[in-house]
A = this chain, B = another copy of it.
Amino acid sequence: MRFSQLLIPTLKEDPSEAEVVSHKLLLRAGYIRKLTSGSYTYLPMGLAAIRKVEQIVREEMNRAGAQELLMPMVQPADLWQESGRWQEYGKELIRLKDRHNRAFCLGPTHEEVITDLIRKNIHSYRQLPINLYQIQTKYRDEARPRFGLMRGREFIMKDGYSFDATDQGAEETYEKMKYAYHRIFSRCGLTFRAVDADSGSIGGSFSHEFMVLADTGEDTIVVCKSCSYAANMEKAICQKGNAPQDIALKEVERIETPGKRKVKVVCDFLQIKPSELVKTLVYIVKDEAIAVLLRGDHGVEDIKLANLLGVSDEDMRLADDKELFDATGTPSGYLGPMGLKIRVVADQEIGNMRNFTVGANEKNFHLQGVNMGRDFTPTLSGDIRKVTAEDRCVACGGKLELTKGIEVGHIFKLGTKYSEALKATFLDDQGDEIPFIMGCYGIGVSRVVAAAIEQHHDKDGIKLPVAIAPVQALVLNLSPKDEEISKAAQDIYGQLQRSHIEVILDDRDERPGIKFKDADLIGIPFRITVGKSFSKEGMIEVRRRTDGETVSIPLADTVATVMDLINKAGAELA
């Protein structure tokens, strides 16, 4: 490919629309262009990088025994009604009607379609296990698409589905997929962690997210510094505090706290620590106001709260001041659990607290010396708070660290959620008709490219690993008008092509400075420069983008050297 004929519209300046580095660089390096909010055209360089990731995914899925198929993107509503998701799924699901007024959706995932396929075509345990996947453009109508390829509305996804005859078989398949995912993300050159995660709207018994560690990640993950424990914030747990043994229970005392509403202000006024206060929040959960108790220095983890209440987190939000007053008769800032008429959910830590402070359900008053069990009993109690860096690892007691991650993969043990809903059954070895045990396995293919750029870049541009870079080498002809230089550049380009190296020849009539800048920006792993030092000394410069290491070599050795470097760089990842 000749640069002069390629559509690589590089930009000198950071585009104003981009916030995170991968978005900026994808635009600046001419990998993508925005069509509309959350939807991008993948230009030749962007698509080439995506295709590299796809191929790695395909190879590792096949190696793990999965088979590729392709299901329709437009799905009939009736299957979604069978699973119940037609009602459950929120606004992310694009619904549409055909010319006959029949309802369809743009499939954000394919559990229904694959379960329908399997129930119609697989009838015996002898045909199991079976593991199928596809690589497909998906559409989800995100509320706030952002960060370029990180959270788009239209994106490329690998989604896989497994069907097993037994629970044990399903768990073995799950482990195989977990291993395949480790291989995939390692081959893509990513630094990542597999973390315990919430199953969310997909459902199922357990799941892991694969998180690429990067400061710009949208997700917070909790990682133990001492052992292998890692979890998504939504799912992270920690050691419970111990119940204090020998503390005498005080009497409840009503104290005037005029105008003191915020935790910090009340604590300063009463000279207590936030960990000695219990705050009372009010959530609106499907039209019901519910009080939530939490230690003063803790935060609510919405997903945990939703799971405890058995609702979706989309059906739940903090009440505003008016709703809070309407539900409790008390202005915000003075609420407490004693005498509240609405349902009360307490974080499990409240049970380990003694003689704490709460609102008095009366303007300008708080209560001190309050104790759960003696003074009030919550409707529900459980772990509903966010883990903090001060907490201790649930597995080993070690120190925890909170870090940012980009979710690039998510695997679920689904169990029988979909097979039961769709009555997808087979005959087991006893002749009994039972539902398939399912798993599902996603990878955000286009997001992997963005995540890789978040991890692999510098101030000059993209530095993708050779395994997923759009092409492997770039030959710079620094003087297209110089016959000798052009011949040598053309020669190296031709030889590399014949050796099946993916290579671009920069044959543009541009200044060397622009060619160097573009080479760095686009981030081709190996840059081969034919310029003055070739005219003078017959030497070609080969530079590695990742660390800038440069060697000067004679023309005759160039191709062998480049191939050797590419192979070495590839081997490090394989």
Instruction: Give Cα A99 to B137, complex, Å.
Output: 19
**Chain B residues whose CB sits within 8 angstroms of the CB of A143 once the complex forms:** 99
Instruction: Give Cα A75 to B44, complex, Å.
Output: 20
- For window 62-116 of chain A, which residues contact chain B by CB distance below 8 Å? 65, 67-76, 91, 94-96, 98-99, 104, 106, 113, 116
In the complex, whether A192 has a CB less than 8 A from a CB of chain B is no
**Chain B residues whose CB sits within 8 angstroms of the CB of A50 once the complex forms:** 70
- For window 165-184 of chain A, which residues contact chain B by CB distance below 8 Å? none
CB of A73 within 8 A of CB of B130, answer no
CB of B41 within 8 A of CB of A70, answer yes
**Chain B residues whose CB sits within 8 angstroms of the CB of A44 once the complex forms:** 67-69, 132
When C-beta atoms are compared, the residue in chain B nearest to A39 turns out to be B72
**Chain B residues whose CB sits within 8 angstroms of the CB of A154 once the complex forms:** 72-74
- For window 123-149 of chain A, which residues contact chain B by CB distance below 8 Å? 130, 132, 136-137, 139, 141, 143
Instruction: Give Cα A41 to B161, complex, Å.
Output: 14
Between A42, A68, A72, A143, the greatest number of chain B beta carbons within 10 A of the residue's beta carbon is seen for A72
Q: Mark A6-32, 1 if CB is under 8 A from B, else 0.
A: 110100000000000000000000000
When C-beta atoms are compared, the residue in chain B nearest to A137 turns out to be B73
Instruction: Give Cα A67 to B136, complex, Å.
Output: 21
Instruction: Give Cα A7 to B73, complex, Å.
Output: 20
Instruction: Give Cα A141 to B40, complex, Å.
Output: 24
In the complex, whether A5 has a CB less than 8 A from a CB of chain B is yes
In the complex, whether A33 has a CB less than 8 A from a CB of chain B is yes
**Chain B residues whose CB sits within 8 angstroms of the CB of A43 once the complex forms:** 69
Point out the residue from B7, B41, B47, B72 that lies within 8 Å of A35, measured CB to CB.
Answer: B72
CB of B98 within 8 A of CB of A141, answer yes
CB of A7 within 8 A of CB of B72, answer no
Instruction: Give Cα A6 to B112, complex, Å.
Output: 20
In the complex, whether A536 has a CB less than 8 A from a CB of chain B is no
When C-beta atoms are compared, the residue in chain B nearest to A30 turns out to be B121
In the complex, whether A242 has a CB less than 8 A from a CB of chain B is no
Point out the residue from B40, B72, B96 that lies within 8 Å of A40, measured CB to CB.
Answer: B72
Instruction: Give Cα A447 to B104, complex, Å.
Output: 23
Point out the residue from B36, B39, B98 that lies within 8 Å of A94, measured CB to CB.
Answer: B98
**Chain B residues whose CB sits within 8 angstroms of the CB of A7 once the complex forms:** 67, 69, 121-122, 130, 132
**Chain B residues whose CB sits within 8 angstroms of the CB of A95 once the complex forms:** 96
CB of A70 within 8 A of CB of B94, answer no
In the complex, whether A117 has a CB less than 8 A from a CB of chain B is yes
Point out the residue from B41, B46, B70, B72 that lies within 8 Å of A47, measured CB to CB.
Answer: B70
**Chain B residues whose CB sits within 8 angstroms of the CB of A41 once the complex forms:** 69-72, 113, 117
CB of A36 within 8 A of CB of B76, answer yes
CB of A65 within 8 A of CB of B139, answer no
CB of A121 within 8 A of CB of B72, answer no
Give, as a whole number of angstroms, the nearest-CB distance from A297 to chain B. Answer: 37
CB of B67 within 8 A of CB of A33, answer no
In the complex, whether A459 has a CB less than 8 A from a CB of chain B is no
In the complex, whether A500 has a CB less than 8 A from a CB of chain B is no
**Chain B residues whose CB sits within 8 angstroms of the CB of A136 once the complex forms:** 137
CB of A39 within 8 A of CB of B121, answer no
In the complex, whether A374 has a CB less than 8 A from a CB of chain B is no
**Chain B residues whose CB sits within 8 angstroms of the CB of A137 once the complex forms:** 73, 136-137
Instruction: Give Cα A75 to B46, complex, Å.
Output: 19
Instruction: Give Cα A7 to B130, complex, Å.
Output: 8
In the complex, whether A120 has a CB less than 8 A from a CB of chain B is yes
Give, as a whole number of angstroms, the nearest-CB distance from A289 to chain B. Answer: 27
In the complex, whether A153 has a CB less than 8 A from a CB of chain B is yes
**Chain B residues whose CB sits within 8 angstroms of the CB of A141 once the complex forms:** 98-99
Point out the residue from B42, B120, B130 that lies within 8 Å of A69, measured CB to CB.
Answer: B42
CB of A69 within 8 A of CB of B47, answer yes
**Chain B residues whose CB sits within 8 angstroms of the CB of A46 once the complex forms:** 69
CB of A153 within 8 A of CB of B74, answer yes
When C-beta atoms are compared, the residue in chain B nearest to A71 turns out to be B41
Instruction: Give Cα A485 to B130, complex, Å.
Output: 26
Instruction: Give Cα A98 to B143, complex, Å.
Output: 10
CB of B9 within 8 A of CB of A121, answer yes
Instruction: Give Cα A35 to B104, complex, Å.
Output: 12
Taking A5-B65, A35-B116, A39-B72 as given, write out 20 further A-B residue pairs in contact, using a Cβ cutoff of 8 Å, ordered by the A residue number: A7-B121, A9-B121, A33-B117, A35-B76, A36-B76, A36-B104, A41-B117, A42-B70, A42-B71, A43-B69, A73-B137, A73-B154, A74-B94, A74-B153, A74-B154, A91-B99, A98-B141, A99-B141, A99-B143, A137-B137
| 27 A-B contacts (beta carbon < 8 Å) | A1-B67, A5-B130, A6-B67, A7-B67, A7-B69, A7-B121, A7-B132, A33-B121, A35-B76, A35-B113, A36-B72, A36-B76, A41-B71, A42-B70, A44-B68, A44-B69, A44-B132, A47-B69, A72-B154, A73-B73, A73-B139, A74-B106, A74-B139, A74-B154, A96-B106, A136-B137, A137-B137
Rank and list the top 9 A-B pairs by shortest CB-CB distance, nearest first. Answer: A39-B72, A9-B121, A91-B99, A42-B70, A96-B96, A44-B67, A36-B76, A41-B71, A72-B154
